[in-house]
Amino acid sequence: MIATVVVCLFVTVGIANTATAQASDNDAQDGFLILQTNLHPPYQELQNGMLSGYSVSVLNCVFERIDVGYGFAIAPRQRNREMVRNGRADGFFLARISETMDEYAVATNPLALEKWMWVSSAIKSDDPRVSRRPKPGDFTTVGAILGSNEAEWLTEQGYTDVMRVPSIASLVGQVAAGRVEYALVDKNSFEIARNELGMGADKFMVQFERYAPLVVYFSNSYVAAFPDILDKLNAVLEFCETRPMRLEPWERDAIEQTQLPTVRQFASSPELVAHVQDQLAGAEQPKEDQKHLIDAEWKALARSGQSSDTAAEILLNDLSEHLRRFQSSVGNQVAEAFVFDVHGQIIGMSRLTSDFDQSDEAQFQMIESINRDQALIADIWYDASTRTFLSQITVPVVDPDTGRTMAALTVGLNVSAALRPDS
């Protein structure tokens, strides 16, 4: 492991996995790259002169796994994009997915999910502005960080007079002083800045606007030179992302009040119960070692989007077709739906799942649930197989005649669609 020093406004250190004497000779062979970034706590931040943060730790893990040399350089976000556009850098991170950037760069799967909030000065609970969000053209003073993902999005949405300030601390201070009525910021970054400024939560009103998946963009020229690296990176991301985004109380309440009743109704519907009974009737229970073999083959092929013979057979059964009709009926709020039996084996799915055996997953506990009205609502995490951020809802499927649990239904809720304010 060697240190590669890159200068671009700031000096930072990236890690390369090639020996110093061999680095220049091997660069063209191993895809050695320089990624531009900007300081954006808690995702990218400097600690004792070293670049750290959540996204940096994920990328360190990824590049080590795929054995590619790399370095990081810090510069303002706008300059980073221009360097990639002009072919002077191999890529940059973290960025929201944008049609404009898609013209000159290729996005990876998301590394993180930002929660964008409107932040304004605190007002009384009976003030009519409590439920108000600024709209384009309504003469409200709207602020964002200069060159940020939020500032770009505001421009695309038609906000014309956006006050752009150089840092999150400055923006929070402008809101507190009343010079900016509403600021659009990432929730994590806002809370860090607010705490560093010594301001309490009671000084602000915070309203959810949207989720924003964040990716690494690689330049078209780099992808053309090394076409396999992007697929390799995406394939190992799931092993390097270990931090789910916890559902906040309001998010969990929204799911329980809006989506959970629909899932429960579907799980107890005569049609679904009949399809589950048909799949279970006469089904042979494979031995444990055979189940492991089926699961291993399933996983290996699913990573490349292929179906094993077992998966292909399940995808064609009547239960899977019924699950697809359900998913289609609720629109883009649901990314997947699948049913597994009391042994944890998938018996029906609307689309290919990442694995066959669910007995080692948290939702398997619903099989042994004594309280038939219980439901498990999981925290938000990125699912590579659906390419969406999901919160999975799992409920038991109960035999109406005997009252015993036959199976469990899991519905993958697309939180970006299901929890936005206008959903």
Task: Check whether residue 393 and residue 301 sit in a common domain.
Answer: yes
Note the residue count of the chain: 423
Asked if residue 275 and residue 296 are part of one domain, the reply reads: yes
Q: Same domain, yes or no, for 76 and 99?
A: yes
Spatial distance between the Cα atoms of 20 and 14, rounded to a whole number of angstroms = 13
The residue type of 352 is L
Torsion angle defined by CA atoms of residues 315, 317, 323 and 326, in that order, rounded to the nearest 10 degrees: 120
What lies within 8 Å, CB to CB, of 280 at 6+ separation is 341, 347, 406, 407
Is residue 255 domain-shared with residue 312, that is, in the same domain?
Answer: yes
Asked if residue 399 and residue 263 are part of one domain, the reply reads yes
- 69 and 123, same structural domain? no
Residue 34 belongs to a domain: yes
Residue 423 lies in a domain: no
CATH of the domain at 57: 3.40.190.10
Same domain assignment for residues 81 and 118:
no
| pTM attached to this predicted model | 0.75
> Is 27 among the domain residues?
yes
Shared domain check, 173 and 222: no
Same domain? For 236 and 94 the reply is yes
Q: Are residues 67 and 120 in the same domain?
A: no
Helices (H) and strands (E) in the chain, counts: 16, 19
Amino acid at 354: S
Rounded distance, CA 391 to CA 380, Å? 5
257 and 404 both lie in a single domain: yes
Which domain covers residue 193, as residue numbers?
A: 114-212
Q: How far apart are CA 137 and CA 159, in angstroms?
A: 7
CATH number for the domain spanning 268: value is 3.30.450.20
| Full pLDDT tens readout for the chain, 423 residues | 333 333 344 333 444 333 333 334 444 445 688 999 998 888 999 888 889 999 999 999 999 999 999 999 999 888 999 999 998 999 999 999 888 889 999 999 888 889 999 999 987 766 766 667 788 888 788 999 998 999 999 999 999 889 999 999 999 999 999 899 999 999 999 999 999 999 999 999 998 898 888 999 999 999 999 998 898 998 888 788 656 678 888 899 999 999 999 999 999 999 999 999 999 997 777 788 888 999 999 988 887 789 999 999 999 999 999 999 999 998 889 999 999 999 999 999 999 998 999 988 888 888 876 556 788 999 988 877 677 888 999 999 999 998 899 999 999 999 888 887 665
Say if residue 164 is in the same domain as residue 276. Answer: no
Residue 350 resides in a domain: yes
Looking at the structure of the chain, the number of domains it has is 3
